[in-house]
Amino acid sequence: MRILPASLLLLVAAGCSTDSYSLHGGQSTRISIANDDVSVRVKRSGYSLILRAEGAMTFKADESDLATLEAGGKFELSEKLEGVLRDYEVRADRSGQLTREYFLEGKLTPMDAEAQAWLAAALPRMFRESGFDAEARVGRLLARGGPDLVLQEVDLAGTDYAKSSTLRLLLEQASLDAAQSERAFASAARIDSDYELSQFLQRSLKSLPAGTPPQAGWLHAARQLDSDYELSQSIQEALKRQGGDEAFVTDLVGLAAEHLDSDYELGQVLQRVAKKPMSPALASAYLTAAGELSSDYERRCALELCAPSVAADPELNRRYRELSRAMGDYDRGEALKALDDASRD
């Protein structure tokens, strides 16, 4: 199990549950989503939210209330804001008929205009805190205000999970222009959790718009990752999905060389790069990255893999041999043998 940053210890996935995690400063967030059973608890200074829900449900387009609830289902939302406790409960009987109740400070109260205004503001807060119903919510927001409205909601999201999932779904459900794409990846770069940022970066690749601006945004967001593991996984996924774009691959190799401190993780990236023949420009970037490897074993493995791509180029051949000189006798010998064998082929 990977440990997430103290600023947000949160993992949510459909079909599985999370444990409760305590955050610094007395704050805590707990989210459990198992199919149609949902439990959310958020607590911080001056604010608390509890959601318990059972059964499939949908929400009105303007998110002012529930639209439908599965027969036998329930929805219970409790929020304490500015010292005032409010509760809203919806239950569906066997025929699907809904019963709604509103409580103010624990007292059953008519659903007047003030109560309706609270609910219309509380439901969006619930979504922002939890990321619950994210797929359907992105569709609702797109219908109301397009990608710009979704991006506004990302900036208001209270958790890294909500930000990550909303951004990913935005890329899947909408075509962004250059400015919107830049804004989306700028928002991603502000995600504190390495896990959530890495998840977004990896999943965004299948819908990453073509061209330099989106790729530059992706690379900028990836540079914010502190974890070598998460960065390496993100780069390897990018190589797998975008491996046909040599300019992007060259940038990915440069990112790995600059930011990966772990010889193992950098070696894993280079192994994936070397699976295909490299142009002189890519091979040059590859050798620069190999030079960052302090482990003789990892450097030797990286050099052996690229030998067929550099053997015939005098300058790349020279750089390969220069990198070999810094290694011990055995590893140097194996690396040079690989180069000599490639030169004869």
* Class of residue 51 by CB neighbours under 10 A (exposed 0-12, middle 13-18, buried 19+): buried
Per residue of the chain (345 residues), give pLDDT as tens.
Answer: 233 333 333 333 334 444 334 344 456 778 887 777 889 998 888 899 999 999 999 999 999 999 999 999 999 999 999 999 999 999 999 988 999 999 999 999 999 999 999 999 999 999 998 888 999 999 999 999 999 999 999 999 988 988 999 999 999 999 888 889 989 999 999 999 999 999 999 999 988 876 777 899 999 999 999 999 999 999 999 999 887 889 999 999 999 999 999 999 999 999 999 988 899 999 999 999 999 999 999 999 999 999 999 999 999 999 999 999 999 999 999 999 999 999 887
What the block records as the tokens of 212 is: 């330099």
How far is residue 203's CA from residue 225's CA, in Å, rounded to a whole number? 15
What pLDDT, on the 0 to 100 scale, is given for residue 116? 96
Instruction: Give the amino acid at 227.
Output: S
DSSP state of 72: T
Residue 135, by phi and psi: left (phi above 0), alpha (psi -120 to 50) or beta? alpha
What pLDDT, on the 0 to 100 scale, is given for residue 23? 47
Say if pTM beats, i.e. exceeds, 0.85.
Answer: no
Name the β-bridge partners of 343: none
DSSP states of 130-168 as a string? H-TTHHHHHHHHHHHHHHHHHHHHHHH-SSHHHHHHHHH
